[in-house]
Structure 1
């Protein structure tokens, strides 16, 4: 069946079955976010357990994200070929095995290998869930469901903040991470019985041929709208990822002098803010698709401004300002979801997996480089480890974020103009549709309705 032939519809779009499929996939994503962010509150314990420096501690998360980012394009190709179901099941099993191994790890090398396994499994989850959204829901539902996917996934971050911190204090390292691994076994059973790739029969799948894959990737990368999505994701996501995954908790406890309980509460506030503002941003994106990249630039400018105030504040920042910091930084999570909506708009359905993979590289590359630089600077300033971190150390280290905000904002502005110019030259009808409030464009992402 060719990519242009409408497939046979078996299930209602946006109905109860669609929500059941999405809910099962979402459960895996929530668990994936928990695994990904678990070092946020366990970092200081991990440093003592493995007897490692700040750079080595950062290596856990950096390598995990490096594996995640490196796998995005291969995962996107596999997603176009095999669909979401096998990738979600495989990803879940890899994360479960990695977390089980991490529960018993006693050395830096073993712990690092376990985090690599977790990163490999995690890489398969999010884009698979977004593909389910794109296939199972109506166009007007997609921006909201994309935002809900990203933000409800942050329930995993909530579980990885105060509850995990409590479990680590009460039960210790191995029982806490062993319980997390056990949840994956239960979810694997749920996926087998509930998850279905598509509401259509015979949804087009791209064969994996080297030349065909290379051609598809060249076309996807050569689409300015794909790179607009990538840079939107790059610019808005990294700060919240760096904060929640690794350096936010030490910054609040060692740098700002907060108790571990207060720092955990701020991480929860951060997550709740992202979850509550995500649907609002999703509604704006769905209503004003022509303004999506401008929304991203506004969010990034707000985050950078509040960080500048906190880092320049004489002495430790007051608690209300730190609350404002985590709430504004949290907007980067919903902002990064705009990148996936841009990928959906400017690519046909049969290339959506590859496009999502390309976009998802952006924020995680920015995150892992930022994390590594922060760890490197802290090691230079406090070579004896976390116990010697000072506020001034964190001021200098966290300032590296401004380099990435500046680069990313410039690229978003640049590719917005490239995308609009390309549409104007090649498909004026699509440009008129975009300006008129449509996010599926004729001749590009719009496809005939199924028979």
Structure 2
């Protein structure tokens, strides 16, 4: 593993951390800043939507300027600056603005590594390399779980965020110094996202790309905390342990998906099978919402494991991209994947706020049921896609 890829992976650890750590800080942010679950859902959704919106300019920047400048500058300004702003937050609005800025900082790091993989390594290895980067980077999920709860209780959440701001700045400097930009694509071909949208095969992938990451990211990144607190009265430390279990499941799932397409000689059916199993986990959460905390954590772990088809879906789409539009292509798919999570976080916050005052249990049942239905619908449309291997 090259040094530049190792630093990009470390930057992605931060990205995974920032999208998931709010779940652990639910109680302390409510006490110190007055941020309710709906406020945190809004802030989390803003992170995902800003992250998604940035994929279009990030894709253009990767193709034009390369991953070095794109990743280093955005991580320094957005990641470091956003974490510092979060550390000084005194209202829910400050948290939302900080999360949006952090979304800007995190937006290029995974796609920069995918860009390097797509332009430097054999196409048949893209899914494995993409899953490896995603899996190793997902250790940020673990840091955002119990260790964050411990840090918040030991040195305070503000000091924790200041440390993260410093780490973000240090990594950005390392990216500037070490990232190697791939050689430009051969020829003078030019294009835009509009050229990608003219490829019919991609339109059968977009719906599942839009919904496949919603359940794992939405539950792990936010709702696991309020759910386990409201329904089972778990403490911050216990919620940290639960998120740790789900985070491990998501990492294991990513590594399991990585080589599966080459072993089974199919991408389409690997993705369909995994998403159907994830939908079953969501249905279980809907039907047995308050039966047992352990059962709920296990079912959420199934959702996390099966919701890791993200890199294989991008590899499937990658097989349809022209080489000179690689940066725009991978970021377009990421826009759908992360944008779907952002929209769902906004919607889930409103859904929870509307139902929870009269029936907290029904609010979570509605949330899990909606997620199950969306995944099943996306998988149904995806069934008509062309299965393509490199």
Q: Do both share a fold (TM > 0.5)?
A: yes
Q: Which of these residues, 371, 383, 387, is aligned with residue 413 of structure 1?
A: 383
Corresponding residue number in structure 2 for 1:274: 250
Deviations 1:147-187 (A, max 9, x none): 01111111111111111111111111210110111111221
Structure 1 position 288, deviation (Å): 4.1
Secondary structure of 1:400's aligned partner: helix
Distance in 2 separating the partners of 1:389 and 1:332: 29
Instruction: Give structure 1 regions of 4+ aligned residues with deviation exceeding 4 angstroms.
Output: 202-207
Greater gyration radius: 1
Secondary structure of 1:38's aligned partner: helix
Corresponding residue number in structure 2 for 1:377: 351
Corresponding residue number in structure 2 for 1:264: 240
- Structure 1 residues 118, 318: CA separation in 2 closer, same or farther (over 3 Å shift)? closer
Corresponding residue number in structure 1 for 2:135: 151
Distance in 1 separating the partners of 2:150 and 2:302: 26
1:341 aligns with 2:311: no
Pairwise CA RMSD: 2.3
Equivalences for 1:181-220 in 2 at 5 Å?
Answer: 181-198=165-182, 200=183, 202-204=184-186, 213=191, 216-220=192-196
1:85 aligns with 2:68: yes
Corresponding residue number in structure 2 for 1:311: 286
Query: Which range is displaced more, 398-407 or 340-349?
Result: 398-407
8 Å contact 2:209–2:336 — kept in the other structure? yes
TM-score by length of 1: 0.80
8 Å contact 1:235–1:409 — kept in the other structure? no
Distance in 1 separating the partners of 2:326 and 2:232: 43
Secondary structure of 2:122's aligned partner: coil
8 Å contact 1:236–1:296 — kept in the other structure? no
Distance in 2 separating the partners of 1:134 and 1:323: 36
- Structure 1 residues 160, 389: CA separation in 2 closer, same or farther (over 3 Å shift)? farther
- Structure 1 residues 353, 332: CA separation in 2 closer, same or farther (over 3 Å shift)? farther
The unaligned stretches of length 5 or more in structure 2 are: none
- Structure 1 residues 205, 318: CA separation in 2 closer, same or farther (over 3 Å shift)? farther
Distance in 2 separating the partners of 1:303 and 1:118: 29
Corresponding residue number in structure 2 for 1:394: 364
Deviations 1:73-96 (A, max 9, x none): 221122111111111102211211
Distance in 2 separating the partners of 1:177 and 1:63: 18
Structure 1 position 97, deviation (Å): 0.6
Corresponding residue number in structure 2 for 1:360: 334
Structure 1 position 333, deviation (Å): 4.1
8 Å contact 1:226–1:342 — kept in the other structure? no
Secondary structure of 2:12's aligned partner: helix
Distance in 1 separating the partners of 2:361 and 2:203: 37
Secondary structure of 2:108's aligned partner: coil
- Structure 1 residues 315, 46: CA separation in 2 closer, same or farther (over 3 Å shift)? closer
Structure 1 position 233, deviation (Å): 2.4
Secondary structure of 1:347's aligned partner: coil
Corresponding residue number in structure 1 for 2:218: 242
TM-score by length of 2: 0.92
1:329 aligns with 2:329: no
Secondary structure of 1:334's aligned partner: coil
Distance in 2 separating the partners of 1:398 and 1:281: 23
Q: Which of these residues, 173, 176, 198, is aligned with residue 222 of structure 1?
A: 198
Structure 1 position 258, deviation (Å): 3.4
